[in-house]
């Protein structure tokens, strides 16, 4: 399976990559199939069935609204987030769904949007869409949102072929050991090796432009997160803190990127809080590699770009490429889905990726980069996904800030060493996979255990 940096980093919408971006993509793909078969005009009813984690925390994550937007022909990277609320309200008032943005179809929310307390066998994030015509069922398909906005349909799940991209890469790797060996044999840095792989799909100019587009979207997300105050939606009455924190930090002196000062740590906290508050509000996001963990990588990259003496757009490109190499390993050999392995798969993977990206731009050897990623992931092992109220707010927002600081520390520790260390990144990723398999389902994005239950008891 060939995975691109642009598979791991995607422009989308909050608050969740697996529960919002994935379901919207799945519904848009369903509509695309109806369009290609010439069946859109025949549809008289659409039924949506959400299973497992999509059902348990679907409302808090906006899964139900996301599916409707996809059925209206919208895609996560293009939709205007501010239009979701008004369009959902209009549908509920009229009981009419504008399929593909063109065809009026009756849609009674209580009848046609079903949140079911059962799991399908392949993955906890499952949904079934059914289109009916005047004479009965036209088409039905089941989709699985497997983390980070990745979606597979029932046929792919049954075949075991989860990625249709069988592109042959010049430097294909399935483990950190293979990655390090390829770097050594070909005298390449990790970012250089990743760039050569990416050239299979795009020109170097397109790669650099695409990564800078992601960076600009991350910057815009931070800027938006610093603008707004007030209470986040969802009913928990969680207050946005980033704008107030930003005002207080502007009075402090500029910290050094290599130093470890309290003021520097607060800037990192600020960037992460800004992103994840914007995510919780359903704003424009960059999945990195998920939305629940989307604040970590931009926080670390903002920190480096703002407080380093000499920076350039080339550093941004190298950061993304170095981070993506680790993300690929996490996705291939474990999971980046909180519903599958808990938050260690989201925040843990993002922390490892951010540590690797920062190590790369600070001049790390491939061995030091692998060590940085290992430290970042190792100290997130066992992290549960237990969002209070099914919302991506508590503990998710602060957890991103903590992990961003942890990523910087991991990179600094690795750079003080020579790349040699006791536990390999491969072993830590396998441990994440095995720990996720042992973890009780109530700790995997169902809001039925952990902090989600403790908050109710309090």
User: In Å, what is the CA distance from 9 to each residue of 87, 201, 312, 324?
Assistant: 27, 15, 20, 8
Least confident of 30-44, 77-91, 188-202, 254-268: 254-268
Predicted local distance difference test score (pLDDT) of residue 46? 98
Q: Tens digits of per-residue pLDDT, 253-306?
A: 655 554 445 778 999 999 999 999 999 999 999 999 999 999 999 999 999 999
CA separation, residue 11 to residues 8, 23, 41 (Å): 10, 15, 31
**C-alpha 74: how far from chain center:** 19
pLDDT of residue 199: 98
Alpha helices in 228-337 (DSSP H): 242-249, 262-280, 296-307, 313-333
Segment 193-197 shows an average pLDDT of 98
Tokens for 174, please give them: 């399935």
| pLDDT tens string 400-450 | 999 999 999 999 999 999 999 999 999 999 999 999 999 999 999 999 999
User: What pLDDT digit, counting tens, does each position of 329-355 carry?
Assistant: 999 999 999 999 999 999 999 999 999
Q: What pLDDT sits at residue 258?
A: 47
Q: What contacts 415, CB < 8 A, 6 or more positions away?
A: 359, 362, 363, 364, 368, 372
229-262, pLDDT tens digit by residue? 999 999 999 999 999 999 988 876 655 554 445 7
**What is d(CA 456, CA 331) in angstroms, rounded to the nearest whole number?**
33
- CA distance linking residue 425 with residue 14, whole number of Å: 30
Q: The tokens of 400 are what?
A: 């991103």
Angle between helices 204-227 and 242-249 (to 10 degrees): 90
Q: How confident is the model at residue 458 (pLDDT cuts 50, 70, 90)?
A: very low
The answer to whether 317 and 211 are in contact (CB under 8 A) is yes
Q: What is the pLDDT of residue 252?
A: 66
Query: What is the C-alpha to C-alpha distance for residues 316 and 17, in angstroms, rounded to an integer?
Result: 23
pLDDT value of position 260: 45
Give mean pLDDT, residues 178-185.
Answer: 98
Range among 52-61, 249-258, 361-370 rated most confident: 361-370
Query: In the chain, what are the domains?
Result: 17-159 (3.30.1330.90), 176-457 (no CATH)
Check whether 382 has a pLDDT greater than 80.
Answer: yes
| Per-residue exposure over 108-144, b if at least 16 CB sit within 10 Å of its own CB, e if not | eeeebbebbeebbebbbbbbbbbbbeeeeebbebbbb
Give me the pLDDT at residue 160, please. 74
pLDDT of 58-111, one tens digit each? 999 999 999 999 999 999 999 999 999 999 999 999 999 999 999 999 999 999
Q: What is the pLDDT of residues 138-158, one digit of tens each?
A: 999 999 999 999 999 999 988
This prediction has a pTM of: 0.93
For residue 222, the model assigns a pLDDT of 98
Give the pLDDT confidence score for residue 44 in this predicted structure.
Answer: 98
What is the rounded average pLDDT for all residues in the chain? Answer: 95
Omega within 30 of 0 (cis) for the link into 353:
no
**Strand locations in 296-439 (E):** none
Q: What is the pLDDT of residue 164?
A: 60
| Pairing, β 103-106 against β 96-99 | antiparallel
Q: State the pLDDT at residue 264.
A: 83
Judge whether 249 and 267 are in contact, CB under 8 Å.
Answer: yes
């Amino acid at each position: 399976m060939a995975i691109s940096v642009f598979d791991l980093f995607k422009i989308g919408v909050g608050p969740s990559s697996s529960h919002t971006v994935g379901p919207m993509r799945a519904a848009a793909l369903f509509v695309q199939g109806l369009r290609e078969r010439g069946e859109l005009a025949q549809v008289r009813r659409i039924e949506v069935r959400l299973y497992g984690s999509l059902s348990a925390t679907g409302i808090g994550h906006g899964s139900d609204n996301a599916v409707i937007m996809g059925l209206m022909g919208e895609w996560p990277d293009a939709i205007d987030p501010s239009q979701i609320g008004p369009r959902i309200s209009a549908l509920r008032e009229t009981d009419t769904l504008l399929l593909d943005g063109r065809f009026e179809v009756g849609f009674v929310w209580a009848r046609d949007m079903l949140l079911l307390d059962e799991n399908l066998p392949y993955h906890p994030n499952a949904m079934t869409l059914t289109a009916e015509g005047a004479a009965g069922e036209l088409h039905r398909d089941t989709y699985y949102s497997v983390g980070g906005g990745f979606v597979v349909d029932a046929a792919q799940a049954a075949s075991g072929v989860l990625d249709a991209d069988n592109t042959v890469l010049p430097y294909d790797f399935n483990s950190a050991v293979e990655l390090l060996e390829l770097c050594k044999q070909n005298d390449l840095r990790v970012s250089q090796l990743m760039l050569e792989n990416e050239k299979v799909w795009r020109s170097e100019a397109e790669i650099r432009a695409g990564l800078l587009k992601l960076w600009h979207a991350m910057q815009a997300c931070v800027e938006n997160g610093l603008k707004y105050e007030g209470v986040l939606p969802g009913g928990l009455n969680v207050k946005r803190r980033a704008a107030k924190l930003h005002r207080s930090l502007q009075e402090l002196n500029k910290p050094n990127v290599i130093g470890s000062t309290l003021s520097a740590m607060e800037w990192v906290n600020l960037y992460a809080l800004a992103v994840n508050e914007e995510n919780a509000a359903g704003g424009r996001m960059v999945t990195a590699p998920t939305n629940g963990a989307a604040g970590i990588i931009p926080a670390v990259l903002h920190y480096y770009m703002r407080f380093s003496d000499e920076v350039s757009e080339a550093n941004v490109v190298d950061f993304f490429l170095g981070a993506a190499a680790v993300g690929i390993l996490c996705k291939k050999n474990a999971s980046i889905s909180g519903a599958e392995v808990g938050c260690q798969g989201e925040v843990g993977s993002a922390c490892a990726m951010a540590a690797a990206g920062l190590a790369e731009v600070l001049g790390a050897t491939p061995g030091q980069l692998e060590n940085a990623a290992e430290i970042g992931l190792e100290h997130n092992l066992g992290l549960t996904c237990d969002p209070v109220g099914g919302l991506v707010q508590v503990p998710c927002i602060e957890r991103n800030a903590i992990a961003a600081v942890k990523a910087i520390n991991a990179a600094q520790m690795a750079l003080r060493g020579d790349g040699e260390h006791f536990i390999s990144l491969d072993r830590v990723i396998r441990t994440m996979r095995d720990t996720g398999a042992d973890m009780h389902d109530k700790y995997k994005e169902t809001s039925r255990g952990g902090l989600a239950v403790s908050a109710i008891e309090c």
